[in-house]
Structure 1
Amino acid sequence: MKKDYKKVLKYGFVSLVCLSILAACRDDISLQHMKIEKAEQIMQRNPEEAIALLQSVKNTEMFPDFLRARFALALGQAHFTAYWVMNEDSLLPYALQYYARPEVSDTQRILRACKLSAHYFYDNERYKEATEMMVEGSRIAALSNDTAARIDLLRSVANIGEGNDDFKGLIQLQKQLMEIDPDTTRRYSNYNSLAVSYFCENLTDSALLALRKASECLYTSADSVQALHHVIRNYADILSDAGENREAISLQQRILQQYKETGHPFECLSYQSLSRYFLNLGQMDSARYYMQKADSTRVPYIDQDLSLSNYFMVQKTLMDYVENGSFKIRDIAFFSNRLYNNFIRDQRKLAQKGKVQLLLQQQNMNLQLEKQKERTFFVGLISLCILLLFAVIWYLQRRKHLLLEKEEELEALRRLLRETEGDISGGNDKFVKKMLLQQLGLIRIVATNPSSDHQELLVQMGRIANKDVVADDLLVWNDLYKTIDMVYDGFYTRISQKYGHILNEKELQLCCLLKSDFSTKEISVVIQQSIRTVYQRKTVIRQKLGMEEKEDIAGFLTPLPLKGEGNT
Structure 2
Amino acid sequence: MANRLKLILNLLLLFCLVACSRNTNISPLLKEAEGYMNERPDSALLLLDSITHREDMSKEQNALWCLLYTQAQDKNRIEHTADSLIQIAVNYYEKTDREDRKMLAYYYCGNVFYDLNDALQAQDYYLKAYKVGKNLDEPYWLGRLCANLGTLYIYQELYQPALDFQKEAAGYFLQDEDTVSLSMALRNIARIYVCENQLNSAITYYSKALPYTSGSHALYISNELADAYGRVGEYGKGVFYARQASALTQTTDDSCLVSLTLGDLFLKQGIIDSAYHYLSFCRRSTNVYTLKDTYHSLSQLEKYRGNLQTCLFFLEQYETLRDSVEKQTYKESLSRLQNMYDYQHVEKEKESYRQEADRKTNYLYRFLGITFFFLLLVVCIVFYLFKEKKKKEEQLNQSLRLQEQKYRDSQQYLAERNATIAELSRKAEVADDLKMQLDMMLEVVNKKIAGDTSGSIGCTQTFFTSDIYEGICKEWKKLDCEQWLEIVKWIDHVLYPNFTYKIKMVYPSISEVELQVCCLTKLDIPVSRIAVLLSMTSQAVSLNRKRLYKKLTQQEGTAKDFDKCISSL
TM-score scaled by structure 2?
Answer: 0.47
Query: Which is helix-richer, 1 or 2?
Result: 2
TM-score scaled by structure 1?
Answer: 0.47
Higher RCO (C-alpha under 8 Å, 6+ residues apart): 1
Greater radius of gyration (CA): 1
